[in-house]
Amino acid sequence: MSEGVFYRCYYEAEFPVDEYGRPGGLWSLADLPVVKYDTLTRRGVVEAKDDGADKYKVRDVEEDWIIWVSKKDVHIGDIHNGDPWNDWRKKKSEVE
C-alpha cells in the first residue's frame, strides 16, 4: 500500500442487524434489539494491509467505521488519489 493512495472497495463482514436489516448493537445509535447476525456488503476504502494476518484495514464510507477484514472478503476497485470519498459524496441519489 502506498502512502496517499486510496483503494476503493466493497467489503463483506458479519454484523448484528436489527429488525430492519440495518447494523445494530454497538454499530448503531438506535435503541432496537439485535434480531440476528448477517453478512452485509458495504462500501469502503482500504487504508492498510497486514500480510501476516492476511487482512485489510477498511474504512467504511457511510459510517466512518474502521474494521479489519479478511482479504478474501474485500473486493478492490479503482485507485483514487486525494479524497477517497469526494465523488461518492457528490453523487446524487435517485430521489434528488
What would the mean pLDDT of 14-43 be, rounded to a whole number?
86
C-alpha 20/C-alpha 26 separation (Å) is 16
C-alpha 27/C-alpha 40 separation (Å) is 13
pLDDT for the residue 94: 53
What would the mean pLDDT of 21-43 be, rounded to a whole number?
85
Q: Please give the tally of structural domains in the chain.
A: 1
Domain-embedded: residue 95: no
| H or E element in which residue 47 lies | strand 36-50
Structural domain containing residue 45: 5-88
Summarize pLDDT for 78-96 with one digit per residue, the tens: 666 555 555 555 555 454 4
The whole-chain average pLDDT of the chain stands at: 81
Domain-embedded: residue 40: yes
Domain-embedded: residue 93: no
Q: Is the pLDDT of residue 2 over 70?
A: no
